[in-house]
Amino acid sequence: MAADPSLADVPGSRTVLATHERFVGKVWEVASDEVDLGGSGVVMRDYLRHTGAVVIVAMDARDRVYLVRQYRHPVGAECWEPPAGLLDEAVESPVDAARRELHEEADLTADTWHTLVDYYPSGGGTSEAVRVFLARGIGVVPEDERHERVAEEADMIGAWVPLDDAVEAILDGRIHASSAVVGLLAADRARRDGYASLRQADASWMRPEATRLIP
């Protein structure tokens, strides 16, 4: 059965009459926009302005995925999740950012890259858009070329986990990170269809403009 072409998000923003900058932080900002909804009137919408991010589901020849356990302060937990990072370098393509993050967080490289899935973690409150890549043909970064991890990343634990076990942990409520839930369930779905649903690494992406007030 052919896919319904009308089942797709529709791009198109509403007129912003004014923007009020509320907070400028190290990584992102908070803004309030006065938005003209036409016949529905003018509303104020507060949101977190985000650069966007990439997530890497690295899968080896034994159908294992590489996960890291990292402390996430807002939720007060060490969460199992795939390697990931911000799109905070204007000159870096998303797939190049993914390659860098895989190197830095997992000491791994990959020969083959595909777009697995795109998502908005919370479209009602943040402009963040996330692209999840499937990385295969895995190699190991030589020890003398590895990135020195600091802060929350300094004591990250990494592990190869069978994809089936990771999916079970998600459905059992033991893994909660959105990058893991979306990325690993999408990887499981792709595996089931023989990876026919994968898109090219540079596939088109309906990503909001990543505006930053500070470099």
Q: CATH no. for residue 139? A: 3.90.79.10
- The answer to whether the CB of 130 falls within 8 A of the CB of 121 is yes
pLDDT of res. 180? 98
- Do 68 and 168 lie in one domain? The reply is yes
- What tokens appear for 35 in the block? 């938005």
pLDDT of res. 215? 45
- Do 40 and 61 lie in one domain? The reply is no
pLDDT of res. 152? 67
Instruction: Decide if 203 is inside a domain.
Output: no
Of 147 and 102, the one with more pLDDT? 102
pLDDT of res. 214? 44
Domain extent, residue 45, equals: 15-49
pLDDT in tens, 138-162: 999 988 778 776 776 768 899 999 9
- Stated as kind and residue range, the H or E segment containing 180 is helix 178-192
Q: How confident is the model at residue 213 (pLDDT cuts 50, 70, 90)?
A: very low
Considering the candidates 89, 153, 168, 209, report the single residue annotated as catalytic.
Answer: 153
Q: What are phi and psi of 74, to 5 degrees?
A: -55, -30
- Do 36 and 97 lie in one domain? The reply is no
- Do 45 and 67 lie in one domain? The reply is no
Q: Angle at the Cα of 85 (from 84 to 89), degrees rounded to 5?
A: 150
Instruction: Decide if 1 is inside a domain.
Output: no
Q: Is 18 helix (H, G, I), strand (E, B) or coil?
A: strand
Number of folded domains in the chain? 2
Pick the range with the lowest mean pLDDT from 72-86, 136-150, 186-200: 136-150
Instruction: Decide if 7 is inside a domain.
Output: no
Active-site annotation holds for 92? no
Most confident segment among 14-18, 173-177, 204-208: 173-177
Instruction: Decide if 3 is inside a domain.
Output: no
- Do 80 and 139 lie in one domain? The reply is yes
- Do 57 and 119 lie in one domain? The reply is yes
Q: For the residues 111-117, what does the mean pLDDT come to?
A: 98
- Do 66 and 141 lie in one domain? The reply is yes
Tell whether the model's pLDDT for residue 175 goes beyond 60. Answer: yes
DSSP code of residue 8: S
- The answer to whether the CB of 66 falls within 8 A of the CB of 159 is yes
Please give the share of the chain, as a percent, with pLDDT higher than 70: 95
